[in-house]
Amino acid sequence: MLTPIAYGLAILLNLMILFIGARFLLVPRPAAAGYGVPAKTDGDPAYLTIKGLRDGSYGLVGLALLAFAGAQAEAWFMLIVALVPLGDTVVVLRHGGTKAVAFGIHFATAVAVLVSAALLFAL
């Protein structure tokens, strides 16, 4: 019973981060607003592209690890990659974003990723 839950959550989280990466590449300004730190209209859009590439890459690497290396490799990946949404929490708080977005989206995502890692380690 634990195996489908562990794999299902890992797949879901990886697909979600892949979707977020694609959103930053395709509609960067709305994606930045959803992130919690809106992009300046006269600012350099490079950070939006970088965020899209970063998130898309993490999603693909996570799916590849799960498919080709197994649950233990994915668990280690999830454990380490949880640092990203934790860092995003701090970024949002330091740059004028709301606590609701920082904790309700980014910190909650970090917790979900850590739960996924724990489930995968338990297999």
Which residues, 6+ apart, have CB-to-CB distance to 105 below 8 Å?
36
Name all contacts of 69-73 with Cβ < 8 Å and 24+ positions apart. Answer: 71/6, 71/7, 71/120, 71/121, 71/123, 72/120, 72/121, 72/123
pLDDT in tens, 18-72: 999 999 999 999 999 999 999 988 877 898 999 999 999 999 999 999 999 999 9
What is the pLDDT confidence band of residue 78, given thresholds at 50, 70 and 90?
Answer: very high
**pLDDT for residue 44:** 77
Neighbours of 49 (CB within 10 A): 13
**pLDDT for residue 34:** 94
**Structure tokens, 43:** 């600012």
- Picking from 62, 102, 100, 74, the residue whose alpha carbon sits closest to that of residue 86 is 102
**pLDDT for residue 42:** 83
Task: Tell me the pTM.
Answer: 0.93
**Structure tokens, 16:** 């979600």
